[in-house]
Amino acid sequence: MLAKKNSESEDHMWQIRMRMLTKRKKNLQIAQTIDKVIHQYYVVERGLPVPLWKSNKDPQWWIDYLASLKDDSRTLS
Residue 47: the pLDDT is 96
pLDDT at 4 over 70: no
Annotated domain spans of the chain:
1-46, 51-77
Mean pLDDT score, 10-35: 94
Residues above pLDDT 70, as percent of the chain: 84
**3-class DSSP string for the chain:** CHHHHHHHHHHHHHHHHHHHHHHHHHHHHHHHHHHHHHHHHHHHHHCCCCCHHHHCCCCHHHHHHHHHHHHHHHHHC
pTM metric for this prediction = 0.59
| 2 CB burial (10 A radius; 0-12, 13-18, 19+) | exposed
Q: How many Å apart are CA 27 and CA 74, to the nearest integer?
A: 40
